[in-house]
A and B are shown apart, each in its own frame.
Chain A
Amino acid sequence: MKTTLSILTMALVTWLIRALSLTLIRKKITNRFITSLLYYLPYGVLAAMSFPAIMYCCQNQLAALAGLACAVILALLDQPLTTVAMASALTVLLISLIA
């Protein structure tokens, strides 16, 4: 029951943000600080969600670290999202099977 309520709360808040933006607010946001905050915030959120959690996301920590290294290298080489994710998971699988 609580999970259902939680899921509905997520959906409602997310929809409200989107609905407000397309209906009530007809002016452009010109405040430079707000614009900047909304520009940088997603990167900060994704980074904090990934670290340090990614180091402990698998049973075998060595495998998780190898998967992390693989993801970082491929991302720095500008590889597409799916390539980075697949190669990282494959690395984890291989190391888990060997170790």
Chain B
Amino acid sequence: MKDDFLNGLRQGLPIGLGYLFVSFGFGIYARGCGLSVFQATAVSFLNLTSAGQAAGVAIIAEGGSLMAIAFSQLVINLRYLLMGIALSQKLDDNFSLRQRLVACHGITDEIFALAIGQNRPLTAPLLYGMTAIAVAGWTGGTLIGSLAGSLLPGVITDAMGILLYAMFIAIFLPPARRQLPIAVTVIASILINCLFYYRLKSVSASMAVIISSLIAAVAVSLIWPVREEEA
């Protein structure tokens, strides 16, 4: 059992290191949205997800309602439902209910990819190990980023404000180049969001993001439904 935990830590190490850097950008961003160092770090520890956190923190900065926050998390993080369901079929028979309620926190895009690729049933210690190193990297990076935001000179933190957006671009642009439906989703979502941004200013920026991406994704899903093996 202990071996499984260590194995999970070792396999998750590259994810933890990657998270350390991405969440550094989130730390800067969260400070810019008015959160304290402790609040920014708590968000990362409790949520372990990039786009959802960024949207949630933006709504907090806008003074949005709890309903708006809950709705944004539901829409943006709904994909974890699919991943969790797929993982659920791969869990070891000894996985208890309590262990499921803990291990589920580790469902992220990257850990899902790592876990689903294992060639044997997933034990609780193995998932705990992967999750522990990911949480450590993600939370630690946020702490360092949010501290750096208050310590570094203004011109440097200002430049680091672009980090999170540049990472988002690095995530969605390469697949958009390879798959036409993803490219259409991306372009449609941006165009609708720009319409909100420049013309329909009464809609808050974060709600505009959710509405734009939902319209784009619904339309593309109707035109190009994915085949079983793609999703």
Could you list which residues of chain A lie within 8 angstroms of chain B, going by C-beta atoms?
A: 3-11, 13-15, 17-23, 25-29, 32-33, 35-54, 57-60, 63-64, 67-68, 70-72, 74-76, 78-82, 84-85, 88-90, 92-93, 96-97
Neighbouring A residues of B88 by C-beta, 8 Å: 21-23, 25-26
Nearest CB in chain A: distance from B8 CB, A: 16
For the complex formed, measure the closest distance between the CB of B128 and the CB atoms of chain A, giving whole angstroms: 13
B208 interface residue, CB < 8 Å from A?
A: yes
Kindly state whether residue B51 has any CB partner on chain A within 8 Å: yes
Residues of B within 8 A of A51 (CB): 190, 193-194
- Complex CA–CA separation, A41 to B210 (angstroms): 9
**Is B81's CB under 8 angstroms from A81's CB?**
no
Query: Per-position contact with A for B52-68: 1 when CB-CB < 8 Å, else 0?
Result: 11111001100010100
| Shortest distance from the beta carbon of A53 to any chain B beta carbon, whole Å | 7
Q: Is the CB of A82 within 8 A of B21?
A: yes
Chain A residues in 8 Å Cβ range of B86: 28
Range of interface residues on B (Cβ < 8 Å): 35 or more
Contacts of B197 in A (CB 8 A): 52
A25/B159 contact (C-beta < 8 A), A19-B104, A52-B193, A85-B166 known:
no
6 tightest Cβ-Cβ pairs between the two chains A and B: A21-B84, A44-B213, A11-B46, A36-B221, A88-B166, A44-B189
30 contacts between A and B (CB under 8 A): A10-B69, A13-B70, A14-B77, A18-B104, A18-B107, A21-B81, A21-B88, A28-B85, A32-B225, A35-B228, A36-B224, A37-B221, A39-B230, A40-B220, A44-B186, A44-B213, A45-B189, A46-B172, A47-B185, A48-B208, A50-B190, A54-B169, A57-B162, A58-B162, A71-B166, A76-B173, A82-B21, A85-B167, A92-B159, A96-B159
